[in-house]
Amino acid sequence: MTTLQKGDQAPSFSGVDQDGKTHQLADYAGKKLVVFFYPKANTPGCTAEACDLRDNYARFEAQNYVLLGVSADSAKAQAKFKYEFPFPLLADEDKAVIQAFGVWGPKKFMGKEYDGIHRTTFVIDEKGIIEEVITDVKTKVHASQILK
């Protein structure tokens, strides 16, 4: 499923956030970037994850990290994800960013198989190299998984 690994160059991407602003990898050169993929805005697990990141945002800033959330929701749905997040949420309806990072694929839930976004986080260094790939995301303590 996720084919990108530690040491790989992060894929070049471009996407629009909940406010219509475009974000691309080049915008974050010189900063550590955390790109977290989540299945769907306003669902319990995704809310817990994003709120944990929000609540620890000062810790991320203190270490020169910038956060960027991504799901296949529309910009309108992302804008309704109302928890005063201090980071942008990309509306990747065409799944271009999701597929570039390799986080779209078969999933199983309650015995049912379907294709969807795998909750995965990529920590990218100042030069665009992937430092870490977190596939076993603990939604309520995700900031601690990243900031160790």
Which sequence positions are flagged as catalytic? 46
Measured in degrees and rounded to the nearest 5, phi and psi for residue 113 equal: -105, 140
